[in-house]
């Protein structure tokens, strides 16, 4: 039995949800309120999600969780030996504009309550500066993002043309990009949108299912 504690918006948590769908593994989804410090601290000693409880044993770190779950090698995790550093570097560059654009909107989605929104904003503003300034600088972040998305398009091209297999790299990329769907000022190119919808299909993924099905842990 697998229990997954996750935040709906979190790209690292999305990696696990997408992978569990791809691997067709049933799990208990436990979306947690962002302000809930007690639950993760009790489980692993750190306030960091995702946490997967596999056969009663709580684990964090998305890629370690996936190593444990991917018994048959369907995620092609070995590709990280050769491409791990490159993808981390790209995700790092993508993360800045994506999160600066998305965070001020994420906190108004159904996942958040007044309490968790305040907690989230306060914590994230320490690193990124006031959210109202992020919103004012939207144009700059969109400009920063555009060439990076071209890089992503060049990478995923071969998969779209069926010239390579679906791997963990697709899950990692899609998980980071997915959050942009909430930003009203942003639109994916038709190519990227088709790619993300393909990932969604392959992984039998439904972003909102957890909110419809369950109660948030707050």
Ligand X SMILES: N[C@@H](CCC(=O)N[C@@H](CS)C(=O)NCC(=O)O)C(=O)O
Quote the CA–CA distance of 196 and 194 in Å, as a whole number: 6
Q: Is 196 in the site for ligand X (CB under 6 A)?
A: no
| Binding test (CB under 6 A) with ligand X, winner from 25, 28, 45, 48 | 48
- Which lies closer to ligand X via its Cβ, residue 35 or residue 145? 35
Choose one: 5-13, 67-75, 134-142, 162-170; the region binding ligand X (CB under 6 A). Answer: 5-13
Q: Is 49 in the site for ligand X (CB under 6 A)?
A: yes
Write the Ramachandran bin of 56: left for phi over 0, alpha for psi from -120 to 50, otherwise beta. Answer: left
**DSSP per position, 45-99:** SSS-S-EEEETTEEEE-HHHHHHHH-TT-TT-TTHHHHHHHHHHHHHHHHHHHHH
Q: Is 12 in the site for ligand X (CB under 6 A)?
A: yes
- Which lies closer to ligand X via its Cβ, residue 39 or residue 198? 39
Q: Is 179 in the site for ligand X (CB under 6 A)?
A: no
Choose one: 43-51, 82-90, 104-112, 160-168; the region binding ligand X (CB under 6 A). Answer: 43-51
Choose one: 59-67, 133-141, 163-171, 194-202; the region binding ligand X (CB under 6 A). Answer: 59-67
Structure tokens at 154: 């060049």
Quote the CA–CA distance of 188 and 146 in Å, as a whole number: 10
Contact 209, 28 (CB under 8 A): no
- Which lies closer to ligand X via its Cβ, residue 125 or residue 153? 125
Q: Is 10 in the site for ligand X (CB under 6 A)?
A: yes
Residues 123-152: x where in contact with ligand X by CB under 6 A, - otherwise, as a string = x-----------------------------
Q: Is 153 in the site for ligand X (CB under 6 A)?
A: no
Structure tokens at 36: 């809930």
Quote the CA–CA distance of 64 and 161 in Å, as a whole number: 30
Q: Is 33 in the site for ligand X (CB under 6 A)?
A: no
Q: Is 62 in the site for ligand X (CB under 6 A)?
A: yes
Dihedral, CA atoms, 185, 191, 193, 198, nearest 10 degrees?
-170
The H or E element spanning position 116 is helix 114-128
Q: Is 100 in the site for ligand X (CB under 6 A)?
A: no
Q: How many residues bind ligand X (CB under 6 A)?
A: 11
Catalog residues that contact ligand X under the rule CB under 6 A: 7, 10, 12, 47-50, 60-62, 123
């Amino acid at each position: 039995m697998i229990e997954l504690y996750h935040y709906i918006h979190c790209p690292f948590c999305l990696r696990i949800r997408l992978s569990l769908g791809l691997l067709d593994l049933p799990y208990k989804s436990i979306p947690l309120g962002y302000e809930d410090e007690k639950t993760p601290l009790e489980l692993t000693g750190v306030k960091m999600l995702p946490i997967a409880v596999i056969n009663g044993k709580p684990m964090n770190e998305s890629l370690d969780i996936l190593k444990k779950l991917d018994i048959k090698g369907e995620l092609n995790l070995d590709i990280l030996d050769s491409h791990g550093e490159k993808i981390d570097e790209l995700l790092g560059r993508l993360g800045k504009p994506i999160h600066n654009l998305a965070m001020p909107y994420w906190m108004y989605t159904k996942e958040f309550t007044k309490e968790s929104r305040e907690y989230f904003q306060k914590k994230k503003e320490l690193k990124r500066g006031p959210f109202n300034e992020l919103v004012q600088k939207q144009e700059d972040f969109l400009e920063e993002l555009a060439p990076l998305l071209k890089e992503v398009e060049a990478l995923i091209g071969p998969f779209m043309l069926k010239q390579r297999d679906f791997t963990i790299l697709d899950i990692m990329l899609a998980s980071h990009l997915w959050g942009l769907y909430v930003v009203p000022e942003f639109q994916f190119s038709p190519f990227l949108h088709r790619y993300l919808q393909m990932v969604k299909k392959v992984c039998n993924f439904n972003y909102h299912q957890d909110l419809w099905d369950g109660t948030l842990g707050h």
